[in-house]
């Protein structure tokens, strides 16, 4: 129950889905959590629910648009002001757009790149100085199985999630001397609002591609993120943790 005791975490896209599950699990394991999202009301609700179960204030909600450097600076400052520092960053915020190479328009391309790729870079850039002040930290970047393998209809998403995979390794190499570990997580099909836009038959056929033949609950990714965030993963950096029911094992 205390795997993250004494640690402060900042989770982007933490209002709902996997980010919210991670915020809840982190608090259960003793962390203080700053939950950032563009969905302000949902974000506040998530933080309120966590605080209702905690003996002392365990969560703070704030507006964080991951494409804005100023928002990131404010989020890191809030972590230090509210809870005394920053030990863990989960770069979880992301959007999904369908469209292959020719039928993706520039607007969609730029939106996906700005949130999924630039947002991860801005997050690390803002968080690292605060982690240095704590003597180390753990950064978890949420990629996807679509950052490992290709498919026909999600060009921008694949491009950004592949970039997150290698940006993670570059950061792991750069920040090892600072005792900051950086790892990527690669979920398969997870039952969150993100997959609501996928037509049910298409979703079912994606699910059938995984040997376990089911989708996962967000907590099944969340526990893996808890592990990477904790000192249990003290020698794990630059790694890709695949959480996909065997989808990419075939
Ligand atoms: P979700 O849509 O429920 O959650 C994504 C969150 O990101 C939302 O709360 C949303 O408001 C937030 N967000 C979007 N744009 C933002 C911005 N500019 N700034 C801050 N927050 C923003 O989906 P999810 O499944 O929980 O997604 C979490 C992560 O997991 C994403 O990076 C996604 O790409 C990745 N992922 C999801 C699946 C899946 O099947 N659901 C599979 C692989 C990877």
Asked whether residue 23 is domain-assigned, the answer is yes
What rounded mean pLDDT belongs to the chain? 98
Asked whether residue 155 is domain-assigned, the answer is yes
Tokens at 54, concatenated: 């905690």
Residues assigned a catalytic role: 157
1-50 per-position pLDDT tens digit: 799 999 999 999 999 999 999 999 999 999 999 999 999 999 999 999 99
- The DSSP H or E segment spanning 36 is strand 32-37
Asked whether residue 1 is domain-assigned, the answer is no
What pLDDT is stored for residue 164 in this prediction? Answer: 99
What pLDDT is stored for residue 6 in this prediction? Answer: 98
161-181 per-position pLDDT tens digit: 999 999 999 999 999 999 999
Q: Which of 112, 194, 243 to mutate to test the pocket of ligand 1 (most atoms within 8 A of CB)?
A: 194
- How is residue 114 annotated by DSSP? I
Q: How many domains does the chain have?
A: 1
Range of the domain at 215: 8-241
- Rounded to the nearest angstrom, the distance between the alpha carbon of 134 and the centre of ligand 1 is 28
Atom 36 in ligand 1: residue holding the nearest Cα: 144
Q: CA 134 to CA 126: how far, in whole Å?
A: 14
Asked whether residue 2 is domain-assigned, the answer is no
Asked whether residue 194 is domain-assigned, the answer is yes
Report the CATH number that the domain containing residue 25 is assigned in CATH. Answer: 3.40.50.720
For the segment 99-128, the average pLDDT, to the nearest whole number, is: 98
What pLDDT is stored for residue 35 in this prediction? Answer: 98
Residue among 176, 187, 111, 194 nearest 139 (CA): 176
Residue among 226, 224, 157 nearest 187 (CA): 224
Asked whether residue 96 is domain-assigned, the answer is yes
Q: Which residue has the tokens 């700005």?
A: 114
237-250 per-position pLDDT tens digit: 999 999 999 999 99
- How is residue 197 annotated by DSSP? G
CB atoms within 10 A of CB 193: 11
Q: Which residue has the tokens 């640690």?
A: 7
Atom 34 in ligand 1: residue holding the nearest Cα: 94
What pLDDT is stored for residue 1 in this prediction? Answer: 77
Asked whether residue 249 is domain-assigned, the answer is no
- Rounded to the nearest angstrom, the distance between the alpha carbon of 177 and the centre of ligand 1 is 31
């Amino acid at each position: 129950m205390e795997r993250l005791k004494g640690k402060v975490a900042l989770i982007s896209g933490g209002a709902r889905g996997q980010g919210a599950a991670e915020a809840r699990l982190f608090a259960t394991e003793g962390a203080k959590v700053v939950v950032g999202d563009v969905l302000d009301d949902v974000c506040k609700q998530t933080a309120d629910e966590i605080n209702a179960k905690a003996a002392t204030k365990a969560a703070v909600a704030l507006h964080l648009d991951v494409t804005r450097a100023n928002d990131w600076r404010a989020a890191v400052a809030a972590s230090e002001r509210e809870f005394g520092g920053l030990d863990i960053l989960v770069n979880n915020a992301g959007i999904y757009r369908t469209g292959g190479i020719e039928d993706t328009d520039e607007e969609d391309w730029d939106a996906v790149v700005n949130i999924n790729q630039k947002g991860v870079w801005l997050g690390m850039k803002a968080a690292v100085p605060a982690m240095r002040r704590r003597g180390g930290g753990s950064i978890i970047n949420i990629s996807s199985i679509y950052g490992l393998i290709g498919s026909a209809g999600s060009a921008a998403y694949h491009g950004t999630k592949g970039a997150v995979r290698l940006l993670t390794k570059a950061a792991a190499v750069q920040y090892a001397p600072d005792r900051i570990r950086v790892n990527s997580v690669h979920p398969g099909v997870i039952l969150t609002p993100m997959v609501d836009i996928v037509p049910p038959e298409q979703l079912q056929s994606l699910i059938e591609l995984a040997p376990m033949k089911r989708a996962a609950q967000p907590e099944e990714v969340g526990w893996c993120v808890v592990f990477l965030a904790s000192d249990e993963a003290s020698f794990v950096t630059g790694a890709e943790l695949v959480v996909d029911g065997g989808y990419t094992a075939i």
